[in-house]
Chains A and B, each alone.
Chain A
Amino acid sequence: MTTLEARRARVNALPLVGHQVRYEMRAYLRNTRARIFTVAVPVVLLVLLVLLFGKNGSASAGGQKLKIGEYYVPHIAAMAIVGSALVNLLISVVAKRESGSLKRRRATPVPAWVLIAADAVTSIVSGLVVVAILVAIGSLGYGVHLSWPVIGVTLVVCIIGSAAFCCLAYALSTIVGSADSAGPMTQFATLPVYFISGIYIPDNVLPRWVLDVAGVLPVRPLAVALQAAFVPATNHGARFAVVPVLVVLAWGVAGLVIAVMRFSWAPRRS
């Protein structure tokens, strides 16, 4: 194949990503488990946490005092991104691998990157939809201030975060043996990280060293970057939090490397 033909094949494959996303999206929308975990859980948690701490209560992040809604909207949004891009994608990839569906697709001419890109796009889109719902609730109910810079930076951070967690999902799929264990395993792995990352319990309640530990894991930097998008004062006045975003990206790259080295299309038997 000449370079030109190769390039043409790639260009023709782009609409194929759209084709695949349509079907992935349709399957996602029919998946009750996915809808509960990726949409219902974050929304319920946001409403519940604001209710428990009181709508007029406060929390602080980066030494900055915030309305309770201003704190929880970006933090639960971070959790929603992890839920869509990591938890849901991981479970779906492992389930498809174990059922033989991935191998089945590999027996067709569809390029591998098209399938992976379609999975990632589906996860990113579903994550963005949940974040939009959370932000809308925050704006309408909890006095979260919205502006174009807030929306723009939030969008960029969400896309970068989703992509990074998609890579981590593919990396983790290489160590998860069965679809049944994928759910409990990711819950077990993510729940403590959410707790130490200030997702459920505000930063000002957590000991400094706990936040430092969480700062090198991927969840807290995403939450910090999203918090900065809404209230730059929590990040020394910068709306785009460069260092936390770089930490998230580094995790994504590490995940990508592991995924490329170890990803398997066939079920783990024999």
Chain B
Amino acid sequence: MTEPALAGGAPAVQAAAGTRQDVVTVRGLRMKYGNYEAVRGIDLDVARGEILAFLGPNGAGKTTTVEILEGFRKRTGGEVQVLGADPAHAGPDWRARVGVVLQESAPEALLTVSECLSMYAGYYPRPLPVARALDLVGLTGKAGSRCDRLSGGQLRRLDMALALIGDPELIFLDEPTTGFDPSARRAAWDVIAGLRDLGKTIFLTTHYMEEAETLADRIVIIAAGRIVASGTPETIGGRATDASTITFRIPEDLTVADLPALPAPVTANSHGAAEIVHEDPVQVLQPLTTWALQRGYPLGDLSVHRPTLEEIYLRLTKESS
């Protein structure tokens, strides 16, 4: 985390919450199962109106952390504030402000989509109209269908509608698009982006890097019970300053020795193309392309590859396991 570790004082936590309008504040969270410590002292903040993507491999402590924030699990250490209350002791008023989409969707099989939503709407003090919730997730056409006759993707959308029906301020989305085909996934992203436009705060967990990159304002990566990186999708894990890889084909009849002076060594990659790794691709491209242009050489397959979020993620989670 970017914030310095606080010395565990409750007033300090409240002050931070007040200034940054944090919806979620976590300090030194720990969770032990017997002798195994699944979560080993993590700090986390989610600001109001932000989409935070919480990434991590299976078994990293991700689900445990989310369940603690949702109030489904009692922690063994640390401070947690969600919407100004400790989720471990929060009551119905708090629940009414939080929407949850669980990993497995589980609507009432024998009720219709709109009956299911009406049933849940009855639990909340100020619910959205059922038609509005259906419209938000694009399920209006299925209002009269029985829940056990929906496709997997439709079930997930119903689950999303159930999380929205109480008009919550904060929404937990646990792997909301797992098992979706690409077009259904894009449709779900539009729904989630629409929630941001409504001013909702979203805590998203996902295994899809593209999903995190498309939706998230900020990404936090957990591995082996610790936060290993946090930042925007563009800068996380030193992504903005990490070395780029410049790849091209050496013109026929030429060898590496014929190339101009370059700021980094040239190696051959597995496809027989030349490869140069450097933090500042401009310093490589400028002499290289000037040289090729002056002599009229083609530079086949020229590309500049910046590290993807997935590569950063794999490196960070591998290092810590």
Which A residues lie at the B interface, using CB under 8 A?
1, 9, 16, 19-20, 23, 26-27, 30-31, 96, 99-101, 103-111, 266
Rounded to whole angstroms, the CA-CA distance of A230 and B105 in the bound complex is 48
Cβ of B57 under 8 Å from chain A? no
The residue that B108 contacts in the complex, of A16, A23, A107, with Cβ under 8 A, is: A23
Cβ of B70 under 8 Å from chain A? yes
Question: Judging by beta carbons under 8 Å apart, are B106 and A104 in contact?
Answer: yes
Rounded to whole angstroms, the CA-CA distance of A90 and B19 in the bound complex is 50
In the complex, what residues of A have CB within 8 A of residue B102's CB? Answer: 100, 103-104, 107
Contact of A111 with B92 at beta-carbon distance under 8 Å, contacts A100-B106, A103-B72, A104-B106 already known: yes
In the complex, what residues of B have CB within 8 A of residue A100's CB? Answer: 102, 104-106
Name which residue of chain B comes closest to A114, CB basis.
Answer: B123
Question: Judging by beta carbons under 8 Å apart, are A109 and B110 in contact?
Answer: no
In the complex, what residues of B have CB within 8 A of residue A104's CB? Answer: 100, 102, 106-107, 159, 162
Question: Judging by beta carbons under 8 Å apart, are B95 and A109 in contact?
Answer: yes
In the complex, what residues of A have CB within 8 A of residue B104's CB? Answer: 99-100
Contact of A20 with B122 at beta-carbon distance under 8 Å, contacts A100-B106, A107-B70 already known: yes
A-B contact pairs, 7 of them (CB 8 A): A100-B105, A101-B108, A104-B102, A107-B95, A109-B93, A109-B166, A110-B122
Interface size class of B (residues with CB under 8 A): 20 to 34
Besides the known contacts A107-B70, A108-B166, A109-B123, 5 further A-B residue pairs in the complex with CB atoms under 8 A apart: A16-B123, A104-B107, A107-B102, A108-B95, A109-B92
Name which residue of chain B comes closest to A115, CB basis.
Answer: B123
Interface centre among B95, B106, B118, B166 (most CB of A within 10 A): B106
Interface centre among A1, A27, A108, A111 (most CB of B within 10 A): A108
Nearest-Cβ distance from residue A77 to partner chain B, whole angstroms: 26
Name which residue of chain B comes closest to A18, CB basis.
Answer: B122
In the complex, what residues of A have CB within 8 A of residue B146's CB? Answer: 30
Within 8 A of A (CB), among B122-168: 122-125, 146, 159, 162, 166
Name which residue of chain B comes closest to A270, CB basis.
Answer: B63
Rounded to whole angstroms, the CA-CA distance of A26 and B108 in the bound complex is 11
Rounded to whole angstroms, the CA-CA distance of A9 and B93 in the bound complex is 11
Within 8 A of A (CB), among B78-121: 91-93, 95-96, 98, 100, 102, 104-111, 115, 118-120
In the complex, what residues of B have CB within 8 A of residue A109's CB? Answer: 91-93, 95-96, 123-125, 166
Name which residue of chain A comes closest to B159, CB basis.
Answer: A104
Question: Judging by beta carbons under 8 Å apart, are A30 and B110 in contact?
Answer: yes
Rounded to whole angstroms, the CA-CA distance of A107 and B102 in the bound complex is 9
Rounded to whole angstroms, the CA-CA distance of A106 and B92 in the bound complex is 10
Rounded to whole angstroms, the CA-CA distance of A166 and B40 in the bound complex is 42
